[in-house]
Structures are given as structure tokens and as C-alpha cells.
């Protein structure tokens, strides 16, 4: 008998969480071995190691408590990885040397698997004077490009994928450029971006008053606050970013407002953190705690919930002591405050089991009650830990109890804290749980509604063939086991059918008892009006949310996974076997065989003079003419510098091979432009180019623009990449970069693959 509720759960475990030797031999033979490995490792800091190991194992068993992915994959493996999910880097200095010191720290953090956030508001705006060098500042956006390239490089080196959050204050002079930065489909793809919204700004928006954009006491520009707000709304309506973070509200509510100031969050926004702040995550699987599901007596077992929360808090507190940290400053910050982020997953499924419609007033009330129960249990468990092991080092009873969150806490909990202290400064957070919810049997993710009740995924078999399997939501599977094929009741709603304001209602209900924040995506239909869309953000502000992230399908980020059961129209086929296609087209061709090279090709040659290099590079790009349109076919790179010989020949062959296979080859440009040279890049044509390979990528991109293959720098193809397809049944949307399946959907602020669990946010 297997513990897994669905085939996809076992596949996710095997791919992402199962401990294996370097040659692929499993150390974890069963999932019980995984639970035992985690329980054993986290019990090592206890006096009664064996006793607590058993208690921890029981909490992990049957996926009741789900540590975040880094803990599940890394605990007990002796690998040099951090078990922490979230980091915010130190304050970025407004100096060249300081900025690049921070870049190095970020690279070290990302190398160990940490998702990181930064506030770029501290860098002087574009055009400001740079004293001592007779130059104008390039502004924070130019340095964000460097960070983006670094993140891509860490990923290309085979390390765990990186994820970053960039924030900028709403009064920074470059905020308007920050707002529109991701309208470029190729720019800052490694970042999630959010504007830090202050209380005075929201007051000015509501009053339609003026708003100063300033830095270091100097006002650079005055705008109407409502116009700036509308610009933010238009950008996120068009491109799904930036999000908004209500930063003053976060700082006022922070339990630690007496000893820290927050200006950034981790990549998905559920952890607002101070400089060098670190936090680990874990989730209570509410779907596993409901008794008598779909019956009149259905209820969540509150006693079991309280016990599970207490054990989970202890496990997470132990992670602070057993984890490695990329930087000593992060270790000290974590141990001084002992932050943890305990949240939930399977909320929507649990509500369904009780017969409640997600987004209804009844569901919101139930959600608030469950979050209250979890907060109480977590804080009281942390008090018990303080009695046994001591309070966190920076604890100050009166200051702590005076914070915004603690003023609303139950009086008996406040009195316990006043008397005994508390072990963990903050305890609750609702994180993205896309992958671990698949691992737990495809329960609904975090506090999100069910995305789709069932869908079909293609599974790659060992012999190279693909089979299809149905992936069913956990609650739907339970319904089928209980009632067979009986039609689902009306209260089964999903992310596509839910009204946006109902999403906000559920986020606001949960936020009342979450001391950190919540990762949540408010899905909006593509045809939502702009005015209605703006109401979502204003409702989030008015109902006490700490931030807001929406997703509306758009041309830049693409569409989410389609769950329509309508059969797709068969793709038009382009012949490549010598017969003439019906409608020749030269923009994009997908093929199984490379094209033969004609005797003559049209092309252009470009010169690159890299600083400190004795000889120039010459790049020739030749094009194929198909249907009267030009598309890149081959590249030649030449230089008299023999040190370049091997890699230029290799690059020539590889890029040309890619071009000859056809398809949307513009990704080659993005990959080359992202290569970061640790020895330093160069300024060329007013832009910072992170490496000589990035310079080559820029040249190829210029050529593609000039020949009409792509629209403009970073703007993608001039025609639909699905227009002509050979031997490939490809649905609309982007393919998963990990498994290649067209199964991407927006989950908790990150595009996530339903087939393999890949998410750029980790």
C-alpha cells in the first residue's frame, strides 16, 4: 500500500524531495524514509531526541504537517543548503562598491537555494549627480538588470533556480520607470516587482492630491497621486506586475516594530522582512483534518489542529538551530528573532468538505475562525517553548505587546507572553504551497481556491513514450469515493469562475490572524474592465490586506492553463519534405529535421570591440528566406584572439544548430544576454553589458529586429509562434521550462507547472 493519494504526488516526491545519492540511487526508499529523515534531523537539538523524533514523525505522517520544500528536500541530507525559504538582503548602499558587495551576497544566498528580496529605493535616481566622477547616475533600474543577469547565471550553472523580489517606494523619482519596466517581455524576468505604498500616498490618491517624487530630501518631480496610482493599475492590468505592498500597514502591525523597519519582502510577498531577515515556512494541511467530509456532521478536528500546530511550531523552531545560512548576518538575524512562518494549505478543499462555497460570507467567517485557532495555538506553543528554552534574544515584553498585531490578540495569550516571554517573534504566514500541495495528494494550494477540479497531464515514461493520466483535486477524489459519479454540488467553484472581490474577501479574512503576510493571487478574467480591476486593489486596501497581487491573462506573461474541455482545432501543418505548403510563411517553423543549407544566404556582419581585449569580434548572422520573410539560419563568430577560438567555434555550432531546427529561436538572445561574467562587464552604447557573451546576444537581437523577425528589443516575435507547426500538437501558452508541458498556471504570484510543480519562485 502506498501513502500517496495520487500518482502525481509520488512523482513529485521522487523528483523534488526524495533523497538520492549522486548517481541517482535512492537513500529514501519510501516516503516514510523521507519523514523519518526530517524528524530525526530536527530532533537532534532536543534533550529527548528519540521521543521528539517520534512526535515529529507522527506530525509529518500522511502529509498532515508539510514543511516547506527546502526543509523536506534538505533536512538530514548533510548537503550544504539552507533550510530557510525567504531572505531579504541588507540595505543596498548608494555607492558602486556597496552595490556590488550586495550583488555578491545575493549570489551566495541564491547559490544555496534562498529566495531573496531587495528594496531598490535606496539607490539614487537616474540622472542624479554622482559626486567625484563628473557623471550622472544610471538609476536603480540599470542595477536591477545586473541582478537579473546574476540570477540567470546562477540558474544556468545548475544551481537551484533563483527567485527575487524588487520593491521601490511610491515616492522614489524613478518609480514611474519601475512601474512599466516589465512591459518589456525580456526584461527583469527573474524578478517579481512590487511598489511600496504608504498611508499618505493612499490618502492623496483618495483626495486626488499632489504627490512629490523625491530622494535624499530633494523633490525631483510632483505628480498627481491618482495618476501614479492609475499608472500602477494600468501596468498590472496589462502585464500582471507590479504588485502593491502596503508598507506602512506592515510596519505598524509588525510585532518587532520597536527594533526593525521593513522595506522589502521575499519573492512571493508572504514574508515582509528587515535587512538580512530570514524566515522558514511550513503548512498545516487542513484537508487532512476534516472528519465526516461532505456529511451534515462534517467538521475540522480542532483538538487535532491544536496538537499539530504545537508540534509544528517546535519543529520549525528547531530548524533555526540546525539550518545553515549563506551569510553570518542572516544567521544572527534569524537567531535573534527566531521568526517562523506557519501557514495552511488545503483550505479550499476543507471548506468544500464542510459544504461551504469558497468566497461566500460563510466561508470567510470559517476561514477567520480557523486562522484565529491556529494563531492562538501557535502563540501559546511558543510561550511553552520560551518557558523551556528561553524567549528570543530581542524580546521586550511591553514593546512587543504594544505592537499592532499583539493588541488584537486574546488577553489570556497576551498575559502568558507578558509572564513567560515568547520563543518566536512572529509565527504565522501563508506561503505558496503549489508543489507541496501536489506532493500531499493535490490538495488545494495555500488559501487559494481550487484551480481545476480535474485535468489531464502527459507523463514521460522511461522508454520515452508519453502517457496521459487524470489529475484530480483531493476533495473531488474524496467526493467520487463517497458518491461515485454524482454531479458536483453548486458550491464547488474554481479560480476561473470566482469573482475577484470574493478572492479579496478570503484574503482579508485570513489576514486578521496572520502576523506576517499572505501569498495570494487574485485571478481576473481577461475581459474585466479597467475600472472593475482597480476596485480589486482599493477593496484590498479598505479591508485591511497588507498587499495585493492579481493575474489577468496578457500578451507578455501569456495565458494560464486552459481547463476547457472543448477539443482544440487541429494545427495547420507546414510541409518540409519537398512539397510546397499551402501558405508559405517565414516567421516561425517547427520541424523534426533541420533544414538543408541553400548555396547562398543573405546576412550581415557586425563588429564588437570589447574593452581590454586586443582584437575585435566579428559576428555574421545569415538568414533563410521563407515565404518572403527572413529568419536567422546560422551564425559565425570570428576573432584573431586565439584565446577565444574554442568557445567561439562551440558557440557558432550550437547557436547555428538551434537556428536550423526552426521554431521561436528568440530565446537564444535572452539566454546569451543573461550570461554574467564574475570578472565584470562593460558599458556599451549607454547600457551595462554583463559579459562578452551578452554582447554577442545583443548583436543577434539587433539583427533579428532589423530583419523583422522580432518586434523590438525584448519584444518577442512579430507573429504568432503557433502559426505554423510541424508534428507538434501545441496548445496556447508557454511551455514549462523544466518539463516542457503546456501546463502553466498562476499560483500565489508565481507561474507554476501543474505537471512537475516547477515554479520560478522555488
Residue 244's H or E segment, with its range, is strand 243-246
Q: What pLDDT does residue 600 have?
A: 80
Is residue 100 in some structural domain? yes
pLDDT, greater one: 134 or 737? 134
Chain centroid, CA 213 distance in Å: 29
Whole-angstrom CA distances from 196 to 32, 129, 511 are 44, 25, 18
pLDDT, greater one: 106 or 734? 106
Q: What does the pLDDT look like over 679-692, one tens digit per residue?
A: 777 777 767 788 88
Say whether pLDDT at 256 is over 90: yes
Confidence of residue 761 (pLDDT cuts 50, 70, 90): low
pLDDT, greater one: 752 or 573? 752
Q: What does the pLDDT look like over 466-481, one tens digit per residue?
A: 778 888 999 999 999 9
Q: What pLDDT does residue 161 have?
A: 54
Is residue 659 in some structural domain? yes
Q: What pLDDT does residue 609 have?
A: 84
Confidence of residue 351 (pLDDT cuts 50, 70, 90): very high
**Mean pLDDT value of segment 589-604:** 64
The count of domains in the chain is 2
Among 112-121, 627-636, 696-705, name the one with the lowest average pLDDT: 627-636
Q: What pLDDT does residue 133 have?
A: 67
Phi and psi angles of residue 334, each rounded to the nearest 5 degrees, phi first = -65, -40
Q: What pLDDT does residue 587 have?
A: 40
Q: What pLDDT does residue 560 have?
A: 46
Is residue 693 in some structural domain? yes
**Pick from 208, 230, 253: which residue ends a domain?**
253
**Pick from 232, 253, 274: which residue ends a domain?**
253
Confidence of residue 130 (pLDDT cuts 50, 70, 90): confident
Confidence of residue 109 (pLDDT cuts 50, 70, 90): confident
Whole-angstrom CA distances from 641 to 488, 615, 637, 646 are 69, 6, 12, 11
3-state percent breakdown (helix, strand, coil) of the chain, nearest 5: 40, 20, 45
Please report the sign of the dihedral spanned by the C-alpha atoms of residue 468, residue 473, residue 475, residue 476. Answer: negative
Residues contacting 88, CB < 8 A, separation 6+: 116, 117, 118, 119, 264, 265, 266, 271, 273, 274, 275, 276, 277
Strands 115-119 and 164-169: parallel
Confidence of residue 422 (pLDDT cuts 50, 70, 90): very high
Among 133-142, 295-304, 459-468, name the one with the lowest average pLDDT: 459-468
Among 92-96, 516-520, 577-581, name the one with the lowest average pLDDT: 577-581
Q: What pLDDT does residue 729 have?
A: 38
Q: Tell me, yes or no, if 424 is annotated catalytic.
A: no
The grid coordinates listed for 438 are 501536489
Say whether pLDDT at 741 is over 70: no
**Mean pLDDT value of segment 254-269:** 95
Q: What pLDDT does residue 571 have?
A: 29
The grid coordinates listed for 425 are 517573534
Q: What pLDDT does residue 465 have?
A: 65
Is residue 145 in some structural domain? yes
Average pLDDT, the chain: 86
Among 201-215, 351-365, 489-503, 653-667, name the one with the lowest average pLDDT: 653-667
Is residue 165 in some structural domain? yes
Among 10-14, 200-204, 569-573, name the one with the lowest average pLDDT: 569-573
- The alpha helices in 612-685, defined as continuous H runs, are 645-660, 667-673
Q: What pLDDT does residue 711 have?
A: 72
At residue 555, the 3 state secondary structure works out as coil
Residue 632's H or E segment, with its range, is strand 629-639
Residue 102's H or E segment, with its range, is helix 96-111
Confidence of residue 132 (pLDDT cuts 50, 70, 90): low
Q: What pLDDT does residue 469 have?
A: 84
Yes or no: say if 286 and 367 are a contact pair by the CB < 8 Å rule.
no
Say whether pLDDT at 736 is over 50: yes
Q: Tell me, yes or no, if 266 is annotated catalytic.
A: yes
Confidence of residue 9 (pLDDT cuts 50, 70, 90): very high
Confidence of residue 217 (pLDDT cuts 50, 70, 90): very high
Q: What pLDDT does residue 24 have?
A: 85
Rounded distance between C-alpha atoms, residue 719 and residue 722, angstroms: 9
Is residue 140 in some structural domain? yes
The grid coordinates listed for 317 are 523552531
Confidence of residue 414 (pLDDT cuts 50, 70, 90): very high
Q: Tell me, yes or no, if 260 is annotated catalytic.
A: no
Q: State the DSSP string of 356-419.
A: --TTSHHHHHHHHHHHHHHHHHHHHHHHHHHHHH---TT--HHHHHTSHHHHTS-HHHHHHHHH
Q: What does the pLDDT look like over 31-71, one tens digit per residue?
A: 999 999 999 999 999 999 999 999 999 999 999 999 999 99
**Mean pLDDT value of segment 216-242:** 96
Domain extent at residue 181: 86-253
Yes or no: say if 270 and 445 are a contact pair by the CB < 8 Å rule.
no
Q: What pLDDT does residue 514 have?
A: 97
pTM for this structure?
A: 0.78
Is residue 413 in some structural domain? no
Q: What pLDDT does residue 534 have?
A: 97
Is residue 737 in some structural domain? no
Select which of 85, 255, 266, 424 is catalytic: 266
Residues contacting 238, CB < 8 A, separation 6+: 183, 554, 556
CA nearest neighbour of 350 among 64, 67, 8: 64
Select which of 241, 270, 539, 701 is catalytic: 270
Select which of 268, 524, 753, 756 is catalytic: 268
Q: What pLDDT does residue 184 have?
A: 82
For residue 122, is it left (φ>0), alpha (ψ between -120 and 50) or beta? alpha
Say whether pLDDT at 463 is over 70: no
Cell 506553543: give the residue.
381
**Mean pLDDT value of segment 664-684:** 79
Rounded distance between C-alpha atoms, residue 308 and residue 58, angstroms: 9
| Bridge partners of residue 673, in order along the sequence | none
Among 380-394, 516-530, 725-739, name the one with the lowest average pLDDT: 725-739
**Pick from 195, 219, 253: which residue ends a domain?**
253
CA nearest neighbour of 604 among 621, 617, 585: 621
Q: What does the pLDDT look like over 716-735, one tens digit per residue?
A: 555 433 333 233 334 445 66
Residues contacting 92, CB < 8 A, separation 6+: 98, 99, 102, 118, 119, 120, 122, 123
Amino acid at each position: 500500500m502506498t501513502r500517496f493519494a495520487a500518482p502525481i504526488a509520488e512523482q513529485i516526491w521522487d523528483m523534488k524531495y526524495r533523497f538520492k545519492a549522486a548517481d541517482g540511487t535512492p537513500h529514501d526508499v519510501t516516503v516514510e524514509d523521507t519523514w523519518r529523515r526530517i524528524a530525526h534531523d530536527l530532533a537532534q537539538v532536543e534533550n529527548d531526541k528519540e521521543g521528539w523524533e517520534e512526535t515529529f514523525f507522527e506530525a509529518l505522517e500522511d502529509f498532515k504537517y508539510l514543511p516547506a520544500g527546502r526543509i523536506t528536500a534538505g533536512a538530514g541530507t548533510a548537503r550544504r543548503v539552507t533550510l530557510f525559504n525567504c531572505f531579504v538582503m541588507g540595505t543596498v548602499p548608494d555607492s558602486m562598491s556597496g552595490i556590488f558587495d550586495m550583488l555578491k551576497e545575493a549570489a551566495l544566498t541564491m547559490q544555496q537555494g534562498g529566495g531573496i528580496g531587495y528594496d531598490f529605493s535606496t539607490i539614487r535616481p537616474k540622472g542624479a549627480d554622482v559626486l567625484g566622477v563628473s557623471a550622472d547616475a544610471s538609476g536603480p533600474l540599470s542595477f536591477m538588470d545586473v541582478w537579473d543577469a546574476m540570477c540567470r547565471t546562477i540558474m544556468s550553472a545548475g544551481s537551484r533556480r533563483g527567485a527575487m523580489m524588487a520593491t521601490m517606494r511610491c515616492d522614489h523619482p524613478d518609480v514611474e520607470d519601475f512601474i512599466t519596466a516589465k512591459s518589456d517581455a525580456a526584461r527583469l524576468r527573474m524578478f517579481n516587482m512590487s511598489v511600496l505604498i504608504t498611508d499618505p500616498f493612499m490618502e492623496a490618491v483618495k483626495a486626488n492630491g499632489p504627490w512629490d517624487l523625491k530622494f535624499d530630501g530633494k523633490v525631483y518631480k510632483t505628480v498627481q497621486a491618482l495618476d501614479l496610482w492609475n499608472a500602477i493599475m494600468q501596468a498590472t492590468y496589462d502585464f500582471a506586475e507590479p504588485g502593491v505592498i502596503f508598507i506602512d500597514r506592515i510596519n505598524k502591525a509588525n510585532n518587532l516594530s520597536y527594533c526593525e523597519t521593513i522595506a522589502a519582502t521575499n519573492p512571493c510577498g508572504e514574508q515582509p522582512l528587515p535587512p538580512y531577515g530570514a524566515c522558514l515556512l511550513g503548512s498545516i494541511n487542513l484537508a487532512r483534518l476534516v472528519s465526516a467530509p461532505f456529511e451534515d456532521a462534517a467538521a475540522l478536528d480542532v483538538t487535532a489542529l491544536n496538537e499539530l500546530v504545537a508540534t509544528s511550531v517546535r519543529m520549525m523552531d528547531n530548524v533555526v538551530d540546525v539550518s545553515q545560512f549563506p551569510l553570518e548576518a542572516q544567521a544572527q538575524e534569524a537567531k535573534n528573532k527566531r521568526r517562523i512562518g506557519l501557514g495552511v494549505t488545503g483550505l479550499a478543499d476543507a471548506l468544500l468538505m464542510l459544504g461551504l462555497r469558497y468566497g461566500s460570507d460563510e466561508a470567510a467567517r470559517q476561514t477567520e475562525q480557523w486562522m484565529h485557532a491556529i494563531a492562538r495555538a501557535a502563540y501559546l506553543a511558543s510561550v511553552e517553548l520560551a518557558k523551556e528554552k528561553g524567549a528570543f534574544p530581542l524580546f521586550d515584553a511591553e514593546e512587543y505587546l504594544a505592537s499592532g498585531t499583539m493588541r488584537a490578540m486574546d488577553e489570556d495569550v497576551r498575559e502568558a507572553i507578558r509572564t513567560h516571554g515568547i520563543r518566536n517573534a512572529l509565527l504565522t504566514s501563508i506561503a505558496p504551497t503549489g508543489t507541496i500541495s501536489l506532493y500531499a495528494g493535490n490538495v488545494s494550494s495555500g488559501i487559494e481556491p481550487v484551480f481545476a477540479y480535474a485535468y489531464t497531464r502527459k507523463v514521460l515514461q522511461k522508454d520515452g513514450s508519453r502517457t496521459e493520466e487524470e489529475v484530480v483535486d483531493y476533495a473531488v477524489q474524496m467526493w467520487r469515493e463517497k458518491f461515485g459519479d454524482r454531479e458536483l454540488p453548486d458550491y464547488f467553484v474554481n479560480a476561473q469562475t470566482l469573482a475577484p472581490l470574493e478572492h479579496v474577501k478570503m484574503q482579508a479574512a485570513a489576514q486578521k490572524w496572520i502576523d506576517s503576510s499572505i501569498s495570494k493571487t487574485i485571478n481576473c478574467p481577461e475581459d474585466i474592465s479597467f475600472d472593475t480591476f482597480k476596485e480589486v486593489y482599493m477593496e484590498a486596501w479598505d479591508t485591511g490586506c497588507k498587499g495585493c497581487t492579481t493575474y489577468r491573462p496578457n500578451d507578455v506573461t501569456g495565458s494560464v492553463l486552459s481547463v476547457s474541455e472543448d477539443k482544440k482545432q487541429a494545427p495547420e501543418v507546414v510541409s518540409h519534405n519537398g512539397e510546397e505548403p499551402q501558405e508559405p510563411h517565414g516567421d516561425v517553423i517547427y520541424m523534426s529535421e533541420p533544414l538543408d543549407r541553400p548555396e547562398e544566404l543573405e546576412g550581415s556582419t557586425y563588429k564588437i570591440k570589447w574593452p581590454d581585449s586586443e582584437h575585435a569580434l566579428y559576428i555574421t548572422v545569415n538568414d533563410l528566406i521563407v515565404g518572403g520573410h527572413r529568419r536567422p539560419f546560422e551564425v559565425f563568430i570570428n576573432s584573431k584572439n586565439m584565446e577565444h577560438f574554442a568557445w567561439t567555434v562551440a558557440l557558432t555550432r550550437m547557436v547555428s544548430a538551434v537556428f536550423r531546427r526552426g521554431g521561436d529561436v528568440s530565446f537564444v538572445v535572452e539566454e546569451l544576454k543573461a550570461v554574467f561574467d564574475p570578472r565584470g562587464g562593460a558599458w556599451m552604447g549607454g547600457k551595462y553589458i554583463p559579459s562578452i557573451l551578452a554582447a554577442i546576444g545583443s548583436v543577434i537581437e539587433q539583427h533579428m529586429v532589423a530583419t523583422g523577425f522580432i518586434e523590438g528589443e525584448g519584444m518577442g516575435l512579430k507573429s504568432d509562434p503557433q502559426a505554423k507547426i510541424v508534428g507538434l500538437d501545441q496548445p496556447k501558452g508557454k511551455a514549462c521550462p523544466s518539463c516542457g508541458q503546456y501546463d502553466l498556471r498562476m499560483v500565489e504570484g508565481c507561474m507554476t507547472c501543474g505537471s512537475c510543480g516547477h515554479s520560478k519562485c522555488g
